[in-house]
């Protein structure tokens, strides 16, 4: 039997179907589309796991409410393969929980810093005892560009095309893009240096839609897993239904 995992983010929905721990189908779709969801459900699904950071009552959410399979909606109340420190509030996002689960599966019994470069940039710390202890949230790449446009009179709104800029720009476009991506690079390296200073054996895992732009630009070794959230969702699903 196959597992369907659904990651409903701020910008898009990611689907993945797993069989015996291997991803056999995946796609990304609009938050308002149901065609991909309906196709995934036609693949012989046995269980479903959902991570959602959206509360929009759109057609997709309506369809999900009527899934005819055993379904896990991830939260701090879900039975997890790792522990969440008691002082962490119940508002901890399902996407962050799923990313940490993916990192725990990759690096059991090791300290891990998970960095997810999506709409927001999140930082999550998991100890070698398997305890999620703390994390941060920062504006993501496109959010920073959009904020400069919305909070000024003359700065245009640009979208990053993945081409790495010079450290200083010679026009408005290059100056804004460079300011954001070089700023994020410095931010990532600061976090990594700070944590590794105290723990040289710390594992670093990058994920998220913008992570591919930084993985080869960082001046220290890190791991990259583009499907960390989806793999974490499948891990949680198997942990709940395969015991």
Residues designated catalytic: 95
Assigned fold of 1-73: Nucleotidyltransferase; domain 5 (3.30.420)
Domains 1-73 and 75-243 share a fold: yes
CA atoms within 13 A on the CB side of 225: 22
pLDDT attached to residue 57: 52
pLDDT attached to residue 243: 57
pLDDT attached to residue 9: 85
pLDDT attached to residue 110: 97
pLDDT attached to residue 59: 76
User: What is the DSSP secondary-structure string of the chain?
Assistant: -EEEEEEE-SS-EEEEEEETTEEEEEEEE-TT--HHHHHHHTTTEEEEEEEE------HHHHHHTT--S-EEE-STTS--SSEE-TTS-TT--HHHHHHHHHHHHHSTTS-EEEEEESSEEEEEEE-TTSEEEEEEEEE-HHHHHHHHHHTSSSPPP----SPPPPSS-SSHHHHHHHHHHHHHHHHHHHHHHHHHHH-TT-EEEEESTTGGGTTTT-SS--EE-TTHHHHHHHHHHHHHH--
* 58 vs 68: CA distance, rounded Å: 19
Assigned fold of 75-243: Nucleotidyltransferase; domain 5 (3.30.420)
pLDDT attached to residue 195: 95
Q: What is the pTM of this model?
A: 0.93
pLDDT attached to residue 11: 80
Annotated domain spans of the chain: 1-73, 75-243
Task: Provide the residue-wise pLDDT of the chain in tens; the chain has 243 residues.
Answer: 799 999 998 888 999 999 999 999 999 988 777 889 889 989 999 999 999 887 655 677 778 888 888 999 999 999 999 999 999 999 999 999 999 999 999 999 999 999 999 999 999 999 999 999 999 999 999 999 999 999 999 999 999 999 999 999 999 999 999 999 999 999 999 999 999 999 999 999 999 999 999 999 999 999 999 999 999 999 999 999 875
């Amino acid at each position: 039997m196959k597992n369907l995992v659904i990651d409903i983010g701020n910008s898009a929905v990611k689907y993945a179907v797993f069989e015996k721990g291997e991803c056999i189908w995946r796609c990304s779709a609009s938050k308002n589309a149901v065609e991909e969801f309906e196709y995934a459900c036609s693949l012989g699904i046995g269980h479903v796991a959902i991570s959602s950071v959206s509360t929009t009552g759109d057609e997709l959410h309506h369809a999900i409410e009527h899934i005819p399979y055993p379904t896990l909606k991830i939260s701090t109340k879900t039975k997890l393969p790792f522990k969440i420190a008691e002082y962490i509030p119940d508002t901890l996002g399902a996407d962050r929980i799923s990313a940490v689960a993916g990192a725990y599966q990759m690096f059991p019994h090791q300290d891990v810093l998970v960095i997810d470069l999506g709409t927001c940039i999140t930082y999550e710390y998991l100890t070698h005892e398997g305890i999620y202890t703390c994390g941060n949230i920062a504006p993501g790449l496109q959010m920073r560009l959009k904020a400069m446009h919305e909070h000024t009179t003359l700065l245009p709104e640009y979208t990053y095309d993945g081409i790495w800029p010079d450290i200083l720009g010679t026009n408005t476009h290059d100056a804004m893009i460079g300011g954001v991506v070089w700023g994020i690079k410095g931010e990532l390296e600061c976090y990594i240096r700070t944590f590794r200073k105290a723990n040289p054996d710390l594992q670093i895992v990058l994920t998220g839609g913008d992570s591919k732009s930084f993985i080869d630009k960082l001046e220290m070794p890190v791991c990259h897993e583009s499907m960390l959230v989806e793999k974490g969702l499948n891990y949680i699903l198997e942990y709940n239904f395969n015991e």
